[in-house]
Structure 1
């Protein structure tokens, strides 16, 4: 091999290495962007929870859930439904951008648990939410019911 061929070959190797590094940086940046987006969505929901604390945990306290008060007031109940819709939307987007990450699923399930009474009622339009959320919804309801059963025993 002459010098020209060696230089050409080494240029190709260097170009391939640079391409590999660029690809790895792209994947890392994309993953970080998804994480930031998920956290941002969750922070927006938490801000809503702080702004409307009377809606943020309607299935509690276990012995006298505020859901019943909301249900008996048409205007408040409608506002509560919109509140839960925001949670559902945030949860669906978070699940999508995090590829159904287990830690995020657990966090979202805990948030959904605060609304178990509504989520299992006939008033919750479960057919409007994404299929990935169905499992979380069912798990949140089960967690709530288990907690309720433990409190009663």
Structure 2
């Protein structure tokens, strides 16, 4: 039974109880001795029933409202995660030389990049943006396993940098334990499969 149906039933019960109480009141006024005490007891019982019904309807509406709010909040968080990921993908499209460095550039290209401070700093910032995005997405989606697989795939593209002493000694500690876990898994995945299963 929906909340609206329950509300309708409660309104009908209130009206019936009110009508019954009015009839009892009128009968009492006309002849107090004619109204049996049982009718008064029935009136009290109906009043109690209406009060309990109204409380139950209010509680049901509150629960439904909480569920609706919770669902809207989660949808909003999922939308935010998608926007963050879309921003990262846009950055990857704009910087194809960085987007899958470990897979297509390899160690040779990473070492070459390290020699050019400007390009290497751009690459470090690119990976930092990916890591920041991964951390935000993880928190927003309550560490959803589907998103985890997407993030692991993206991190694996940068496993060579993520396992480098530059990153491990200096940067790794800045990230959450969960993201550090994803980084370790992506390095293991890269070592085992390179960039594909």
TM-score by length of 1: 0.90
TM-score by length of 2: 0.71
SS state of the match for residue 85, structure 1? helix
RMSD: 1.7
In structure 2, the gaps of 5 or more residues are 1-41
User: 1: distance between equivalents of 2:112 and 2:86?
Assistant: 27
User: 1: distance between equivalents of 2:114 and 2:125?
Assistant: 13
2:176 paired residue number? 130
Q: Deviations over 1:16-47 (max 9, x none)?
A: 11111101101111111111111111111001
In structure 1, the gaps of 5 or more residues are none
SS state of the match for residue 126, structure 1? helix
Q: Give the helix-richer structure, 1 or 2.
A: 2
User: 1: distance between equivalents of 2:83 and 2:108?
Assistant: 29
Give 1:68 deviation, angstroms. 3.0
Give 1:126 deviation, angstroms. 0.5
1:110 paired residue number? 153
1:142 paired residue number? 188
Residues 60 and 66, structure 1, Cα contact 8 Å, conserved in 2:
no
126-135 vs 54-63, which moves further:
54-63
Q: How does 1:4-15 map to 2 (within 5 A)?
A: 4-15=47-58
User: 1: distance between equivalents of 2:82 and 2:63?
Assistant: 29
Rg: which structure is higher? 2
User: 2: distance between equivalents of 1:9 and 1:42?
Assistant: 49
Judged with a 3 Å threshold, the aligned counterparts in structure 2 of structure 1 residues 12 and 65 are, in CA distance, closer, same or farther, namely farther
1:82 paired residue number? 125
1:27 paired residue number? 70
User: 1: distance between equivalents of 2:177 and 2:187?
Assistant: 16
Q: Does 1:91 align with 2:134?
A: yes
Give 1:106 deviation, angstroms. 1.0
Q: Does 1:119 align with 2:165?
A: no
User: 2: distance between equivalents of 1:39 and 1:65?
Assistant: 33
SS state of the match for residue 76, structure 2? helix
